[in-house]
Amino acid sequence: MIVAFSVTPLGVGEDVGEAVAAAVKVVRDSGLPNRTDAMFTSIEGEWDEVMPVVRAAIEAVKEYANRVSTVIKIDDRAGVGGGLTAKVESVERHLAALEDRGQ
């Protein structure tokens, strides 16, 4: 499964980078495949591997704020691994094909 999530501390002003970095560190330290972009962090693994990491990331942000907002999106597809890279590679192949056709 791939879980994309965003954890935001509330009531601490506009600069939330330090709190978000604490959450991302938890994810990276997990050893599971992951990717962070401007809006979400995605992590890949089995349910019992991924969800404790998400919870720990939320707890890390709670060190900076009493209130935390979390958005979670889950793609749970049995028997599929390597989805973090495979999905992006598929889109890139399709984009290249469109460009080759002049679209």
Entry pTM:
0.85
Angle at 32 between CA 27 and CA 34, to 5 degrees: 65
Selected residue with higher pLDDT from 71 and 79: 71
| Other Cβ atoms within 10 Å of 33 Cβ, number | 15
Selected residue with higher pLDDT from 13 and 60: 60
**pLDDT attached to residue 44:** 95
* Residue 78 per-residue DSSP state: T
Does residue 85 have a pLDDT over 90? no
Does residue 81 have a pLDDT over 90? no
CB 79 within 8 A of CB 32: no
**pLDDT attached to residue 1:** 94
- Band the pLDDT of 80: cuts 50, 70, 90: confident
**pLDDT attached to residue 6:** 97
